[in-house]
Amino acid sequence: MRKPLIAGNWKMNKTVSESIDFINSIKDIKNDCVEGLVCVPYTSLTEVKKSLEGSDIKLGAQNMHYEDNGAYTGEISPLMLKDIGVEYVIIGHSERREYYNETDQTVNKKVKKAFEIGIKPIVCVGESLEERESKKTEEKIKKQIEEGLKDLKEEDLKDLVIAYEPIWAIGTGKTATSDQANDTIKFIRESLKSIYGDVSEKVRIQYGGSVKPENIKELMSKSDIDGALVGGASLKKDDFEALINY
Ligand code: PEP
């Protein structure tokens, strides 16, 4: 019912020419049962959009501002992303929360703006190692859901993607076990259901954190995992292909 979404988050990697070369190497990857997506740096969006013509792979950005325009030096407006033809945007990645002071409140503003403009948000949530060890995972995630996804329109929920990314598993080589990931994703859906009811069944909830060809099959075999948000392994052609064709 929910089509799995395998999304690459390139982070701050690849120049424009490197991006074009990479897209040319992956654009023919096709799996009718899976949606494939690349979230590339702002500077590469326009050229990647052109290179993806005719491909099944979709285009996403890694962040955006919540205002349409104004005096926000260095920021990128949702209108600019829409104009390029961006379909998805990552919101509230833990690196943005940690290094750029993003909060559940700014996440909420961005998510609402993304829906208003017609870009599908991928909202990242997840706990730190300290929070997991002190059994505060659910408390942390509940707050992120309640505040970050507050006051959404029910009709928008079908286009919402949530990425459960335990911070301790991002870029560390440590993966949550498939059961840990599945259990937390179930908890996320229950939290969402307590706010929005049955329409929450339409929301795709991905796992992210050191996903690679070696562990994707096991993760995707779990009942509630609707895809993956992948950093490191999405930068290599063979790995990205193996992920899409898990
Ligand atoms: C990410 O960028 O969201 C991520 C999960 O990175 P990695 O796959 O490298 O852990």
- Separation of CA 234 and ligand 1 centre (Å): 9
What are the structure tokens assigned to 212, written together? 């690679």
Q: Which of 142, 62, 147 is nearest to 112 (CA)?
A: 147
Contacts of 86 (CB under 8 A, 6+ apart): 45, 49, 59, 60, 61, 119
Going by pLDDT thresholds of 50, 70 and 90, the confidence category of residue 198 is very high
241 is catalytic: no
- Residue 39 Cβ inside 6 Å of ligand 1? The answer reads no
For residue 87, the SS3 value is coil
| pLDDT computed for residue 172 by the predictor | 85
170 or 144, which is more confident: 144
How far are the Cα atoms of 21, 44, 47, 126, 170 from residue 16, in angstroms, in the given order? 9, 5, 7, 31, 25
Instruction: Kindly give the number of the ligand 1 atom that is closest to the alpha carbon of 211.
Output: 8
Best mutation site among 5, 6, 9, 91 for ligand 1, i.e. most ligand atoms within 8 A of its Cβ? 9
Active-site residue identified among 93, 95, 127, 131: 93
Give the mean model confidence (pLDDT) for residues 49-53: 98
The set of residues, in sequence order, having a beta carbon less than 8 Å from that of 30 and lying 6+ positions away, is 56
102 counts as catalytic: no
Give the residue-averaged pLDDT of 162-180: 90
Please report the pLDDT score of residue 175 as a whole number.
Answer: 80
- For the cut 90, the answer to whether the pLDDT of residue 173 exceeds it is no
Residue 223 has pLDDT above 90, yes or no: yes
Query: With 90 as the cut, is the pLDDT of residue 174 above it?
Result: no
